[in-house]
């Protein structure tokens, strides 16, 4: 097999991946070579999205808006799979390389920007009470949260959530809160004493979205990666977030990578699928495949940082360390969804300008339901609500429009997340196909207690319906299977016991005693909190890279 490329041996730091974890590490390093499979959006949707991005929403052609909306088909539980401008490219698995049989909800990403090309951009840090199994403290993570948020920017406000989750950013940008969210927050404020006594804490969502008064941070570039500027520099509440932001204002790690590539901070190489590595005394040899030519690819580096996402990083380590036919468990923060019916309707939501990402974070503090915090995200109106109601009304939709309008002003959508101690898990096993290729099987491991826990959360919401101002529509509650939240990790826990785990890492993410190989994504998390995972993955990657830098 032909060797397609050998990386310059002076490349000190080699990072695999262009997802958020890779960006967290690259932020702290110099002399970085980033190698990535780097799948990208096909040119037809990219051109159409870019053309929308060059105009203000009032000038968008009707058929382009209809095209964008037609790219997702909603049902009462939301959408089956969130796409990027109708494309599945974020989840596409290269045909060359190992075979994958993934059951359960988790998906791999081999895209430029990884899963941050489709994510919901909600961010909260972890807090100390929940990382007692970790060999590091929140105090140690704090400077790294700040460094990451200084790069990405964050939209949010300083409110009561600050008491449990500091914002770690001096000047968050501003996103307008939707009229429905304003009404709910006002009600909770009025009933604050009772709701707080019942263990609720809340605040407006924190999102990696460019809101008003955003400081210049990660460069916004079109879907072609050119310097073509989008028409809008801050969110204009066009309501298209679920389909893909035409202005690229929802943070994706590819924005930082592109910016750094332009500045010469990093060297970015796309189109390579890394398969394994071998650590030698003074360097690490890395090998894989060029995805365009199929030729063998080889590289060498002083330090290797694995940021392939939990499934791919674990697979690379299993393959390199020869962990065959021995399952490795993956932790998960399992999630559930339920529509909420508000007592008071808000008129005219269909015409209102709003973003359609999470509007409110509602926390249930550790108490009778769980020893761990439970994190709830509330979404208010988006056009998919109208579409679902119209589908239900069938041929009577036009006739029933006044009723549909009333309903859409009353409906919210809730996503709830549980701590990994309260969730199911997944397991990944390496085997071989009949023609001798490596094969990875990923299977969900159901925790029978999770359904009961979801019911207790819903019962608590229903019990406090008078103070909360809404009621969960219980028959429509739905529990996602393990992995479906995409808040998964912990396959190679930092400070884990090797009797329980085939792969354990030290505080620098080094698996099974290796010296020069560092796992930088959530695979090393000893537990997964219910709050969002990505900010902590980025901060932890940044911490690892900083501490490695101090080693010299």
Chain residues in the site for ligand SF4 (CB under 6 A)? 209, 235-241, 245, 247, 249-250, 355
Mask 211-240, x = binds ligand FAD (CB under 6 A)? ------------------------------
Q: Are 50 and 222 in contact (CB under 8 A)?
A: yes
116 in contact with ligand FAD (CB under 6 A): yes
Q: Which does 249 bind (CB under 5 to 8 A by kind): ligand FAD, ligand SF4, none?
A: ligand SF4
Q: Is the dihedral of CA 65, 66, 72, 75 positive or negative?
A: positive
Helix (H) or strand (E) holding 267: strand 266-270
- Closest distance to ligand FAD from the beta carbon of 471 (Å): 25
151 in contact with ligand FAD (CB under 6 A): no
Tokens 């390389």 found at: 97
Q: Which does 307 bind (CB under 5 to 8 A by kind): ligand SF4, ligand FAD, none?
A: ligand FAD
- Of 250 and 494, which CB lies nearer to ligand SF4 in the complex structure? 250
Among the listed ranges 41-49, 121-129, 344-352, 430-438, the one in contact with ligand FAD (CB under 6 A) is 121-129
Q: Which does 240 bind (CB under 5 to 8 A by kind): ligand SF4, ligand FAD, none?
A: ligand SF4
Listed in sequence order, the residues at least 6 apart from 415 whose beta carbon sits closer than 8 Å to its beta carbon are 335, 336, 337, 358, 376, 377, 379
For the chain, the 3-state helix, strand and coil shares in percent, each to the nearest 5, are: 30, 25, 45
Half-sphere exposure of 121 (CA within 13 A, CB side): 29
- Of 110 and 188, which CB lies nearer to ligand FAD in the complex structure? 110
- Closest distance to ligand SF4 from the beta carbon of 216 (Å): 17
- Of 118 and 131, which CB lies nearer to ligand FAD in the complex structure? 118
Strand ranges for 107-239 from DSSP E: 200-204
36 in contact with ligand FAD (CB under 6 A): yes
43: nearest Cα among 32, 31, 35, 51? 51
Q: Distance between CA atoms of 219 and 247, rounded to whole angstroms?
A: 12
Sheet with 13-16: list strands edge to edge: 266-270, 32-36, 13-16, 303-306, 517-519
Q: Which does 241 bind (CB under 5 to 8 A by kind): ligand SF4, ligand FAD, none?
A: ligand SF4
- Closest distance to ligand SF4 from the beta carbon of 47 (Å): 18
| Total residues binding ligand FAD (CB under 6 A) | 39
38 in contact with ligand FAD (CB under 6 A): yes
- Closest distance to ligand SF4 from the beta carbon of 541 (Å): 25
- Of 49 and 323, which CB lies nearer to ligand SF4 in the complex structure? 49
- Of 239 and 489, which CB lies nearer to ligand SF4 in the complex structure? 239
Q: From the list 84, 87, 122, 380, which residue makes contact with ligand FAD (rule: CB under 6 A)?
A: 122
Q: Distance between CA atoms of 370 and 187, rounded to whole angstroms?
A: 26
Query: By CB neighbour count within 10 A (0-12 exposed, 13-18 middle, 19+ buried), where does 61 fall?
Result: exposed
- Of 244 and 469, which CB lies nearer to ligand FAD in the complex structure? 244
490-519: which residues touch ligand FAD (CB under 6 A)? none
- Of 206 and 464, which CB lies nearer to ligand SF4 in the complex structure? 206
Q: What is the DSSP letter of 510?
A: -
Give exposure, 405-435, as e/b (b: 16+ Cβ within 10 Å).
bebbbbbbbbbbbbbbbbbbbbbbbbeeeee
How does strand 284-290 pair with strand 200-204? Answer: unpaired
Q: Which does 239 bind (CB under 5 to 8 A by kind): ligand FAD, ligand SF4, none?
A: ligand SF4
- Of 131 and 250, which CB lies nearer to ligand SF4 in the complex structure? 250
- Of 249 and 533, which CB lies nearer to ligand SF4 in the complex structure? 249
| C-alpha distances in Å from residue 246, one per residue of 196, 243, 257 | 39, 9, 19
Q: From the list 204, 486, 528, 539, which residue makes contact with ligand FAD (rule: CB under 6 A)?
A: 486
Phi, psi of 486 (to 5 degrees): 65, 15
- Closest distance to ligand SF4 from the beta carbon of 139 (Å): 33
- Of 359 and 534, which CB lies nearer to ligand FAD in the complex structure? 534
Half-sphere exposure of 329 (CA within 13 A, CB side): 17
- Closest distance to ligand FAD from the beta carbon of 486 (Å): 3
N-terminal to C-terminal alpha carbon distance within the chain: 36
Helix (H) or strand (E) holding 297: strand 296-301
306 in contact with ligand FAD (CB under 6 A): no
Q: Which does 195 bind (CB under 5 to 8 A by kind): ligand FAD, ligand SF4, none?
A: none
Q: Distance between CA atoms of 132 and 415, rounded to whole angstroms?
A: 26
Q: Distance between CA atoms of 38 and 89, rounded to whole angstroms?
A: 10
Q: Distance between CA atoms of 267 and 183, rounded to whole angstroms?
A: 48
- Closest distance to ligand SF4 from the beta carbon of 219 (Å): 16
Closest residue to bound ligand FAD by CB: 114
- Closest distance to ligand SF4 from the beta carbon of 88 (Å): 19
Neighbours of 97 (CB within 10 A): 19
Among the listed ranges 130-138, 301-309, 444-452, 508-516, the one in contact with ligand FAD (CB under 6 A) is 301-309
Q: Distance between CA atoms of 533 and 131, rounded to whole angstroms?
A: 13
312 in contact with ligand FAD (CB under 6 A): yes
Q: Are 344 and 54 in contact (CB under 8 A)?
A: no
Q: Distance between CA atoms of 530 and 543, rounded to whole angstroms?
A: 21
- Closest distance to ligand SF4 from the beta carbon of 405 (Å): 21
Among the listed ranges 5-13, 58-66, 269-277, 505-513, the one in contact with ligand FAD (CB under 6 A) is 269-277
- Closest distance to ligand FAD from the beta carbon of 393 (Å): 28
Neighbours of 219 (CB within 10 A): 17
The partner residues of 243 in beta bridges, in order of sequence, read none
Q: Which does 237 bind (CB under 5 to 8 A by kind): ligand SF4, ligand FAD, none?
A: ligand SF4
Residues near ligand FAD (CB under 6 A): 16-22, 35-38, 82, 109-111, 114-116, 118-123, 272-274, 307-309, 312, 316, 486, 521-522, 532-534, 537
């Amino acid at each position: 097999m032909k060797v397609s490329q050998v990386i310059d041996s002076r490349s000190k730091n080699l990072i695999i991946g262009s997802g958020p974890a890779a960006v967290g590490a690259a932020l702290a390093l110099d002399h970085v070579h980033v190698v990535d499979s780097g799948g990208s959006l096909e040119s037809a949707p990219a051109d159409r999205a870019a053309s929308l991005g060059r105009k203000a929403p009032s000038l968008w052609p009707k058929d382009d808006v209809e095209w964008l909306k037609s790219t997702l088909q909603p049902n009462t539980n939301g959408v089956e799979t969130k796409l990027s401008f109708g494309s599945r490219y974020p989840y596409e698995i290269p045909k060359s390389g190992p075979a994958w049989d993934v059951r359960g909800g988790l998906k791999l990403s081999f895209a430029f920007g990884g899963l941050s090309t489709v994510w919901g951009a909600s961010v909260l840090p972890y807090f100390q009470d929940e990382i007692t199994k970790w060999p590091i403290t929140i105090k140690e993570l704090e400077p790294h949260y700040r460094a990451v948020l200084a790069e990405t920017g964050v939209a949010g406000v300083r409110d009561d959530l600050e008491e449990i989750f500091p914002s770690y950013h001096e000047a968050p940008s501003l996103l307008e809160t939707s009229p429905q969210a304003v009404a709910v927050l006002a009600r909770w404020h009025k009933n604050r004493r009772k709701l707080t006594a019942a263990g609720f804490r809340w605040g407006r969502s924190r999102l990696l979205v460019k809101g008003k008064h955003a400081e210049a941070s990660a460069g916004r570039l079109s879907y072609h990666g050119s310097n073509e500027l989008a028409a809008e520099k801050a969110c204009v509440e066009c309501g298209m977030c679920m389909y893909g932001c035409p202005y690229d204002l929802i943070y994706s790690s590819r924005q930082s990578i592109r910016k750094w590539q332009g500045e010469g901070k990093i060297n970015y190489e796309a189109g390579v699928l890394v398969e394994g590595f071998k650590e030698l005394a003074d360097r690490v040899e890395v090998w894989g495949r060029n995805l365009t030519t199929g030729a063998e690819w080889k590289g060498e580096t002083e330090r290797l940082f694995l940021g392939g996402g939990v499934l791919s990083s674990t697979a690379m380590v299993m393959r390199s360390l020869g962990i065959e036919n021995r399952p490795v468990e993956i932790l998960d923060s399992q999630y559930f969804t339920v529509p909420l019916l508000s007592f008071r309707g808000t008129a005219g939501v269909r015409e209102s300008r709003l973003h359609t990402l999470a509007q409110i974070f509602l926390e249930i503090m550790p108490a009778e339901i769980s020893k761990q915090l439970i994190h709830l995200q509330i979404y208010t109106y988006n056009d998919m609500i109208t579409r679902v109601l119209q589908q239900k009304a069938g041929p009577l939709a036009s006739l029933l429009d006044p009723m549909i309008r009333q309903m859409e002003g009353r409906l919210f959508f809730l996503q709830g997340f549980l701590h990994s101690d309260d969730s199911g898990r997944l397991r990944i096993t390496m085997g071989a196909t009949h023609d001798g290729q490596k094969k990875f099987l990923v299977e969900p491991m159901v925790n029978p207690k999770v359904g009961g826990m979801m019911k207790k959360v819903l019962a608590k919401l229903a019990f406090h319906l008078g103070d909360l101002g809404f009621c969960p529509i219980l028959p429509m509650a739905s529990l996602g299977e393990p992995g479906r939240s995409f808040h998964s990790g912990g396959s190679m826990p930092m400070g884990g016991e090797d009797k329980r785990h085939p792969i354990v890492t030290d505080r620098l993410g080094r698996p099974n005693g290796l010296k020069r190989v560092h796992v930088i994504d959530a695979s090393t998390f000893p537990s997964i909190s219910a709050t969002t995972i990505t900010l902590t993955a980025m901060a932890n990657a940044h911490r690892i890279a900083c501490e490695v830098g101090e080693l010299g």
